[in-house]
Amino acid sequence: MIMNKPKTHGDGKFKLTDFRIFGADSIIESGVLAFHCENISIGNRVYIGHNTIIKAYYKNEMIIGEGTWVGQNCFFHSAGRIEIGKNVGIGPSVKILTSNHINDFMEQPVLHNPIEFKKVVIEDNSDIGVGSILLPGVVIGEGAIVGAGAVVTKSIPPYSIAVGNPARVIRSRKK
């Protein structure tokens, strides 16, 4: 019996020269997997924690700005594009998703429905709490804080604090 070789998107192993840009003094810890590195730009002094998956896509880009810190066990999928600004803190186990299945076609399983792509932007000096999930199309405004475990379904204004599922703004950081 002849078996077909299984298809794969790769094993996630990489060399720093595989990235579109890999900034000076940046650190990628052991266990990090990266896919489509040619579409990932990492600024200077970026830290990416153990066992994080940074999954770019063949047609969109992932940009991680200088001075950003990414905790361990995160999952970033930039099919729709991810733009992370400068000096952003991203806690462990954060998930950033930029695509979802359109659910308008009842005659077939959701899995086989068309996919919609939407960019996620995290502006400079923001902080994303442990275990948060950012869904397609959201913008986290400059200096905003997303509390631990929040599920962000709508954009968060600059200098706001948002918590919960779904995340809601509870106050402004401005005095």
| Active site members | 101
Residue entry with tokens 């106050």: 171
Measure the CA–CA gap between 18 and 90, rounded to whole angstroms. 24
Which residues lie below 8 Å from residue 83, measured CB to CB, with a gap of 6+? Answer: 63, 119, 120, 121, 122
Q: Are 110 and 100 in contact (CB under 8 A)?
A: no
Helix, strand or coil, per DSSP, at residue 47: strand
Angle of CA points 33, 146, 29, to nearest 5°: 25
d(CA 163, CA 175): 19
